[in-house]
């Protein structure tokens, strides 16, 4: 099947209420029974057909009553208010799973969502630094997340760890972080010192674009 040519490539972060490591990445149930989380991305290079998406930011909040694969989830997307009408329309098509294979990250997660709240448009503050091990997203009245290094409980030193998934559909490898985050509005939660991740993503109609995302090397 022929799809509209598109790509989004850039800095991405995520967090959930599970313990460090996130059981979902290893086909295990959520640490605390339910799954509450978020993701955000700053597109460094992107397009949907003739519409350029460079510089556009988006985020999403999620909640599932159990394991993600069991479904019945809730989701809400947020697109930076500075995106043009054409960019909003293009990005919404990508995030909703249009013009792509059913095995992409957007379609796989989308298949588990039972209730989707209206997309919000608001200013998104986004920070991402794999050298300093730091990430941050602030969307006033909607979402706040801070990602910092995991620390050794005995020595206090930074504990740097990478998850490598050769067959991953969301990422092949990512840096594990410690996250503190709150959600407001339609999906509400508040968690401290839980799982977080930083990675460089590159997606297209067939999923992850091999060779275009950066490896998250341990230093």
Q: Residues 61-105: pLDDT tens digits?
A: 999 999 999 999 999 999 999 999 999 999 999 999 999 999 999
Query: What is the pLDDT averaged over residues 153-163?
Result: 95
0.75 surpassed by pTM: yes
What pLDDT, on a 0 to 100 scale, did the predictor assign at position 201? Answer: 97
Task: Say which residue, 57 or 217, is predicted with more confidence.
Answer: 57
Confidence check: pLDDT of 39 > 90: yes
What pLDDT, on a 0 to 100 scale, did the predictor assign at position 218? Answer: 46
**C-beta neighbour count of 9 within 10 angstroms:** 22
What pLDDT, on a 0 to 100 scale, did the predictor assign at position 216? Answer: 54
**CA–CA distance, 59 with 54 (Å, rounded to integer):** 15
pLDDT in tens, 94-146: 999 999 999 999 999 999 999 999 999 999 999 999 999 999 999 999 999 99
Domain boundaries of the chain, sorted by first residue? 6-208
């Amino acid at each position: 099947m022929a799809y509209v040519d598109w790509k989004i490539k850039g800095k991405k972060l995520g967090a959930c209420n599970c313990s460090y490591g996130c059981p979902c990445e290893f086909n295990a149930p959520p640490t605390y029974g339910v799954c509450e989380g978020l993701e955000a991305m700053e597109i460094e290079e992107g397009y949907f057909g003739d519409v350029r998406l460079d510089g556009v930011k988006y985020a999403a909040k999620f909640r599932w009553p159990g394991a993600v694969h069991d479904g019945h989830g809730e989701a809400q997307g947020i697109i930076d208010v500075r995106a043009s009408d054409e960019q909003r329309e293009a990005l919404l098509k990508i995030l909703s799973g249009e013009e792509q294979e059913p095995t992409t990250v957007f379609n796989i997660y989308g298949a588990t969502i039972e209730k989707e709240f209206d997309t919000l448009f608001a200013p998104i503050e986004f920070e991402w630094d794999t050298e300093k091990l730091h990430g941050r997203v602030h969307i006033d009245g909607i979402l706040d997340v801070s990602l910092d290094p995991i620390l050794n409980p005995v020595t206090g030193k930074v504990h740097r760890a990478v998850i490598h998934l050769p067959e991953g559909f969301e990422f092949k490898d990512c840096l594990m972080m410690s996250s503190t985050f709150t959600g407001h509005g339609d999906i509400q939660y508040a968690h401290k010192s839980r799982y977080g991740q930083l990675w460089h993503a590159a997606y297209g109609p067939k999923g992850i674009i091999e060779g275009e995302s950066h490896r998250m090397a341990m230093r």
